[in-house]
Amino acid sequence: MLAESAALVVGKVVGAYGIKGWVKVHSFTDPKENIFDYQPWYLKTDKGWVPVKLDAGRLQGKGLVAQLNGETDRNRAEALYIGCEIAVDRSVLPNLEDGDYYWSDLIGLRVRTVAGVDLGSIVEMLETGANDVLVVRGDNDSLDQQERLVPWVPGEFVKEVNPTAGYMVVDWDPEF
């Protein structure tokens, strides 16, 4: 079992592939095939994070497919794995340089403007062609309950990131 605090979600099992128990995997890593480099995998079940053995994994067309725990039956693979998040222990990931962050470290941070206006918390990150985008949702502690999309452009819009203290400062008009 993997402790919730050590789990870093790196993907999700999204469908069955073929008839021999393989599954389709959506990866949150960049590049997407890096998900196969991080072992062991844990799947989120009603019993918590349960370890699974990655027997094989590969690029298939524009996506990824994997075989888990020696499963060779499509129906059993669907029942056991489809919809499960994939996590790894944070300790297996490479250390980042200063100023680089894993998305999971940003989600949940409080966001305030350079003028001190609380905009809410980061609830999601979106990957776009030009730059990534922070999805900031207001709550009862913030200015309002509006959802804002703030470009992840350090230095221009993102002025300070402090995951340890749990906040981010952005140069963003609260009216947008």
What is the pLDDT, as a whole number, of residue 143?
Answer: 67
Give the burial string for 33-63 (b: 16+ CB within 10 Å, else e). Answer: eebbebeebbbbeeeebeebebeebeeeeee
Tens-level pLDDT at each residue, the chain (176 residues)? 888 888 889 999 999 999 999 999 999 888 999 999 999 999 999 889 999 999 999 999 999 999 999 999 999 999 999 999 999 998 898 888 888 888 888 999 999 999 999 999 999 998 887 889 999 999 887 768 899 999 999 999 999 999 999 999 999 998 87
Q: What is the CATH number of domain 4-91?
A: 2.40.30.60
Amino acid (one-letter) located at 56: A
Token pair of 24, please?
A: 């389709």
CA atoms within 13 A on the CB side of 47: 6
The residue count of the chain comes to 176
Q: Under CATH, domain 103-170 is a member of which superfamily?
A: PRC-barrel domain (2.30.30.240)
What is the pLDDT, as a whole number, of residue 61?
Answer: 93
| Nearest-angstrom CA–CA distance, 118 and 53 | 44
DSSP 81-136: HTT-EEEEEGGGSPPPPTT---HHHHTT-EEEETT--EEEEEEEEE--SS--EEEE
Residue extents of the structural domains in the chain: 4-91, 103-170
What's the predicted TM-score (pTM) here? 0.74
